[in-house]
Structure 1
Amino acid sequence: MDALRQKYLDAIAAVSEEAGLEDLRVQAVGKKGEVSLKMRELGKMTPDERQVAGPKLNALKDEINSALAAKKAALADAALDERLRTEWLDVSLPGREARQGTIHPISQVTEEIIAIFADMGFAVAEGPQIENDWYNFDSLNIPPHHPARQEFDTFYMHRDAEDDRAPHVLRTHTSPVQIRAMEKTGAPIRVIAPGRVYRSDYDQTHTPMFHQIEGMAIGEDISMANLKWVLEEFFAAFFEIDGIKTRFRASHFPFTEPSAEVDIQCSWVDGQLRIGEGDGWMEVLGSGMMHPKVLQAGGVDPEKWQGFAFGIGIDRLAMLKYGIPDLRAFFDSDLRWLRHYGFASLDQPNLARGLSR
Structure 2
Amino acid sequence: MLDRVKDIHQEIDQFRVDSPEQLEQFRMRFISRKGVITELFEGLKTVPQADRRAVGQELNGLKNFAQERFDTFSQQIDEQRTTSGGTPPVDLTLPTIPNLTGTQHPLSLVRQRIIQIFERIGFNVADGPEIETDWYNFGALNFPDNHPARDMQDTFFIAKAAGNEGDDTPNDTLLRTHTSNVQIRLMERQTPPIRSIMPGRVYRNETISARAHCMFHQVEGIYIDRNVGFKDLKDTLYHFVKELFEPGTQIRFRPSYFPFTEPSAEIDISCQICGGKGCNICKHSGWVEIAGSGMVDPQVIANCGIDPEEFTGFAFGMGIERITQLKYVVNDLRLYTENDVRFLRQFEGL
Q: Taking structure 1 as the reference length, what is the TM-score of the superposition?
A: 0.69
Secondary structure of the 1:90 match is: coil
Please name the residue that 2:241 is paired with: 235
Please name the residue that 2:270 is paired with: 265
The amino acid of 2:108's aligned partner reads S
Which of 225, 243, 250 is residue 255 of structure 2 equivalent to? 250
Which of 217, 221, 230 is residue 215 of structure 1 equivalent to? 221
Secondary structure of the 1:110 match is: helix
RMSD after superposition: 3.1
> How far apart in 1 are the matches of 2:281 and 2:150?
36
Aligned 8 A contact 2:199 2:218 in 1: yes
Secondary structure of the 1:154 match is: coil
Deviations 1:142-190 (A, max 9, x none): 1110110000000000013233253311000000000111112121110
Identity of matched residues, %: 45
| Deviation of 1:15 (Å) | 10
The runs of 4+ residues in structure 1 deviating greater than 6 Å are 75-79, 269-275
> How far apart in 2 are the matches of 1:255 and 1:111?
27
Q: 1:333 and 2:332 equivalent?
A: no
Deviations 1:1-56 (A, max 9, x none): xxxxxxxxxxxxx99689xxxxxxxxxxxxxxxxxxxxxxxxxxxxxxxxxxxxxx
Q: Taking structure 2 as the reference length, what is the TM-score of the superposition?
A: 0.70
| Deviation of 1:88 (Å) | 4.6
The amino acid of 2:116's aligned partner reads A
Secondary structure of the 1:332 match is: coil
Which of 293, 297, 304 is residue 299 of structure 2 equivalent to? 293
Deviations 1:179-217 (A, max 9, x none): 111112121110000000000112211100000000000
How do 1:126-275 and structure 2 match up within 5 A?
A: 126-159=127-160, 160-163=164-167, 164-201=169-206, 202-241=208-247, 244-266=249-271, 268=274
Aligned 8 A contact 2:196 2:223 in 1: yes
> How far apart in 2 are the matches of 1:168 and 1:78?
63
| Deviation of 1:266 (Å) | 3.1
Please name the residue that 2:95 is paired with: 94
Deviations 1:309-329 (A, max 9, x none): 000101100000111111111
Aligned 8 A contact 2:159 2:171 in 1: no
The amino acid of 1:206's aligned partner reads A
The amino acid of 1:156's aligned partner reads F
Please name the residue that 2:319 is paired with: 313
When residues 79 and 176 of structure 1 are mapped into structure 2, their CA distance, relative to the original with a 3 A threshold, is closer
When residues 331 and 17 of structure 1 are mapped into structure 2, their CA distance, relative to the original with a 3 A threshold, is closer
- Aligned positions, number: 270
Which of 263, 281, 286 is residue 280 of structure 1 equivalent to? 286
Aligned 8 A contact 1:265 1:279 in 2: no
Gapped regions of structure 1 (runs ≥ 5)? 1-13, 19-74, 345-356
Aligned 8 A contact 1:105 1:343 in 2: no
When residues 91 and 221 of structure 1 are mapped into structure 2, their CA distance, relative to the original with a 3 A threshold, is same
| Deviation of 1:299 (Å) | 1.8
> How far apart in 2 are the matches of 1:190 and 1:17?
77
| Deviation of 1:297 (Å) | 1.9
> How far apart in 2 are the matches of 1:79 and 1:224?
79
> How far apart in 2 are the matches of 1:250 and 1:167?
32
| Deviation of 1:76 (Å) | 6.5
How do 1:22-171 and structure 2 match up within 5 A?
A: 80=80, 88-159=89-160, 160-163=164-167, 164-171=169-176
When residues 273 and 235 of structure 1 are mapped into structure 2, their CA distance, relative to the original with a 3 A threshold, is farther
> How far apart in 2 are the matches of 1:111 and 1:298?
29
Larger radius of gyration: 1
Deviations 1:95-142 (A, max 9, x none): 211333210001010000000000110010000000011100001111
> How far apart in 2 are the matches of 1:127 and 1:155?
17
Larger deviation: 97-106 or 210-219? 97-106
